[in-house]
Amino acid sequence: MTARLTSYAHDGLTFDVVDEGPLDGPVVVLLHGFPERATSWRGVTERLHRHGLRTLAVDQRGYSRGARPRRRRDYRLPLLVGDVVALLERVGAPVHLVGHDWGAAVGWLLAARRPDLLLSWTAVSVPHPRAFVHAALTSSQGRRSWYFGFFSLPRLPERAARPGGALERGLRRSGMTDADIERFRTEVVADGALPGALAWYRALWLATGPAGRARVRVPTTLVWSDGDVAVARRGAELSAAYVDAPFRLAVLEGVSHWIPTHAPEPLAEAILDHAGRRTGQEEQA
């Protein structure tokens, strides 16, 4: 793929892509989480580009303006994975995949089902799905995940998203800054992406089959932060048991859940380790 990719079509939807960095560099595909968009990766991509990597940051289903179906069932996890598979097949060569929050949930399943499409997998914040479930039963994870139920309610979360409302207050307690909140207001609420973003939670209860049970056979790094109020350490520590490949757990101290925006430097280093591009001295831009 030698031309810039600004969008791609799949399943009757059109997805926006931010394609940057050297056109001939190894490709890193970046999947954002809730409630953010491709812009959350800016601090990370700048460093990756200096090391010769090309980045494709996609606005996922519900976030891209051309990819906002209204039905809850259109946000089931296999469909979300299929959107990314379509992008990777468009690239035409194995890539380094990185996903934060919900993007990590998509990435874990993709890594298990289509290892042929990946050179490496870097999960950010969220552990393997089976490790997450185990942690919910044996640690504070169940209590930390209370918001899954709230976000699944009809209409109420949208009402709570008014400026200064309950949703914003919760995001601030999780570590979001004023700048983060402003991006949320502009890119998610004002742009009309919030219903689609919440549909990821609402469709979670429609899951069928052992979607999260498959083992991962791709070199994997999980980057977790000890200031994360949403994800307990237990799930991060259990994830290695579900990876049949080299696995590394990187723990960032004093960092909130919002690793891509609050700790882009160490996250980029973890990705560069996978990509074989960490030299200790940055290349000239």
**Block residue for tokens 């990185």:** 98
* Average pLDDT of span 54-81: 97
Nearest to 32 by CA among 94, 120, 124: 124
Q: Please report the pLDDT score of residue 208 as a whole number.
A: 57
pLDDT at 209 exceeding the cut of 90: no
Q: Please report the pLDDT score of residue 274 as a whole number.
A: 84
Rounded to the nearest integer, the mean pLDDT of the chain is 94
For 212-239, the pLDDT digits (tens) are: 668 999 999 999 999 999 999 999 999 9
* Average pLDDT of span 160-178: 96
Q: Please report the pLDDT score of residue 2 as a whole number.
A: 79
- Residue 54 β-bridge partners: 27
> Which whole-number Å values give the CA distances from 128 to 112, 216, 247, 277, in the listed order?
10, 9, 12, 26
The ranges assigned to domains in the chain are 7-275
Global pTM reads 0.95
Q: Please report the pLDDT score of residue 171 as a whole number.
A: 97
pLDDT at 101 exceeding the cut of 70: yes
The phi-psi region of residue 247 (left if phi > 0; otherwise alpha if psi is between -120 and 50; otherwise beta) is: beta
For 122-155, the pLDDT digits (tens) are: 999 999 999 999 999 999 999 999 999 999 999 9
Under a CB-based contact definition with an 8 Å cutoff, are residues 230 and 143 in contact? Answer: no
- At 282, the pLDDT band (50, 70, 90 cuts) reads very low
d(CA 12, CA 269): 36
For 245-278, the pLDDT digits (tens) are: 999 999 999 999 999 999 999 999 999 998 876 5
**CATH value of 7-275 in 1.10.150.20, 3.40.50.1820, 3.20.20.70, 3.40.50.720:** 3.40.50.1820
